[in-house]
Amino acid sequence: MSENNKSYIRKGQYENIQLSIYLDAKGHVLDLDLQHLDQAALTRPAITALIDHTLLKPEATKEQIRTLCEEALEYQFGAVCVNSCWTALCTQLLQGSGIKVASVIGFPWGSPVTAAKVAEARQAILDGACELDMVMNYGKLKSGDYTYVAHDIREVVRLAHKHDALVKVILETSVLSEEEKVIACLIAKEVGADFVKTSTGFASGGATVEDIALMRKVVGPDMGVKASGGVRSYADAQKMLAAGATRIGTSSGIRIVQEAMA
């Protein structure tokens, strides 16, 4: 852990964030017991409702998006998660089904300026998205510009909540230190985001049980935690849910459900 941030974040309004509650002097997570996770079996309706059926490849075609929605209808997944250009199509295909449309914002790097993220979020909401998975500007976070990060998230949250839409903040945990994960979670919670989410699936790593447990520890029991990236089996999903996830983002939803039924 850096000397300047050993106990507190000394960055404007975030000077009172006490990292020592979560991390020891070496930056290791305190009191994180992963040895006794309760991997309770989930029924098919229970697991499908927690899955965001996902297709975010930039080369995805219209027909592939149609198939994604058909699969969501067949398996009754909780939501589909797509790039914003496909939001309107998904809204049309899923109309009246109760399946939500989640649109990614600032994807996958999180580096567009705030105004661009807000504009993309506004269009996604107009096109029918009721959930926004926005990528945090993790370059700014790693630079220590926490005020920028907070403003960036807050502006999207403010717009979304005016339209009763949820915001999931993607942290990209594989590129963050333990300290940075804690800070990111605390900022997302403070500015009113509804979820924190591990990964885009486009970086070096995806969700881990350790990261989910840490995120749950930091945000507490009332905020959503989404595991995404590398969740490919029912066993993977069970572990993430046992560690504290409340939503699973995956392109392997059908496999997960089929394994749950076996």
Catalytic residue among 197, 211, 236, 239, which? Answer: 197
Catalytic residue among 11, 168, 217, 226, which? Answer: 226
Cβ of 118: how many Cβ atoms within 10 Å? Answer: 20
Asked if 79 contacts 102 with a C-beta cutoff of 8 angstroms, the reply is: yes
11 is catalytic: no
Alpha carbon of 175 to those of 25, 137, 160, 206: distances in Å? 21, 12, 27, 10
Catalytic residue among 133, 152, 211, 236, which? Answer: 133
Please tell me the distance from the alpha carbon of residue 85 to that of residue 72, in angstroms, as a whole number.
18
Q: Provide CB contacts within 8 A for 63, sequence distance 6+.
A: none
26 is catalytic: no
197 is catalytic: yes
Instruction: Name the CA dihedral angle for 121, 179, 227, 185, rounded to a multiple of 10 degrees.
Output: -40
Catalytic residues: 133, 197, 226
